[in-house]
Amino acid sequence: MKWQGTVRDKRMSADEVVGGLRDGMTIGIGGWGSRRKPMTLVTAIAKSSLRDLTVVSYGGPDVGLLCATGKVRKAVYGFVSLDSIPLDPYFRKARQNGEIEVAEYDEGALQWGLYAAALRLPFLPTRAGLGSDVMTVNPGLKTVTSPYEDGEELVAMPAIHLDVALVHMNRADRFGNTQYLGPDIYFDDLYCMAAEKRYVSCERVVDTAELAAGGPPQSLRINRMLVDGVVEAPGGAGFTSCVPDYGRDEVAQKAYAGGDLFVEASR
């Protein structure tokens, strides 16, 4: 990293990002299913010597690849899906064989856990999970009673604190201001807010002025105060989608799910 006046140039390589990670960390991975996953960074982890990671994700091939390469001790997730292929086969194998610990939450509860961490709160109350097996498969979840007249019983969703967040954006400048150009931020902003360190890969590093001119204000959701490193990685979400730059590569995804060389090449 270099200083540009009073602002840090945060450009770095994927290997430099992974070099700063340690065994046993809790790593949040942005995107959603098989959409806009930071696969360049995930693959770099898969090729590293890292072990015993806790991975927090609305999961897709990020979780599957890290399970297949023996990096995951625990997975915390709302689902693990390839979208057009319902289940990631490598996660399913690890889950069914008891190779990893798991915490499976309602999608809304997972969001609330990240939000609680972002707000530096111990928990947030939510209805998500009530009346479902979420409470059964997570016996450690507790409920609280509203102190107001309604007296409603609510789930006390604990904060999900992250050591590191990894997300992928369409554009970023060298200082860490980022931009998504697709239909949804997913919860990438919450991952960054909940983490101690935040690394963003992007399709292209551009001048700050181009970010401001390249989309609506809401597309600039993650700013430089929430980013510790920027990795320029064209195609860095592939084979998952990163619209409008590219869609999901269904051929490559089917090859991955069928046990093709993608996983072996990442070992």
Q: How many other β-carbons are positioned within 10 Å of the β-carbon of residue 42? A: 33
Number of structural domains the chain divides into? 1
Assigned domain for 151 exists: no
Structural domain span for residue 102: 2-121+160-265
SS3 letters across 78-109: EEECCCCCCCCHHHHHHHHCCCCEEEECCHHH
Assigned domain for 241 exists: yes
92: tokens are 């399913």
Contact 62, 257 (CB under 8 A): no
User: What's the CA gap between 221 and 167, in Å, rounded?
Assistant: 12
What residue has token string 């200083």? 3
Q: What is the pLDDT of residues 46-71, one digit of tens each?
A: 999 999 999 999 999 999 999 999 99
Assigned domain for 176 exists: yes
State how far the alpha carbon of 154 is from the alpha carbons of 99, 109, 119, 147, 161, in Å. 32, 11, 19, 11, 21
Assigned domain for 137 exists: no
First to last CA, the chain: 28
Q: Which phi and psi (to 5°) does residue 22 adopt? A: -135, 155
CATH classification of the domain holding 64? 3.40.1080.10
82: tokens are 């390839």
Assigned domain for 134 exists: no
Q: What is the pLDDT of residues 181-221, one digit of tens each?
A: 999 999 999 999 999 999 999 999 999 999 988 788 889 99
Assigned domain for 144 exists: no
Percent of the chain with pLDDT over 70: 95
- The answer to which of 79-83, 87-91, 153-157, 210-214 has the lowest mean pLDDT is 210-214
Closest CA to 230 of 195, 204, 196, 266: 204
Assigned domain for 8 exists: yes
Assigned domain for 167 exists: yes
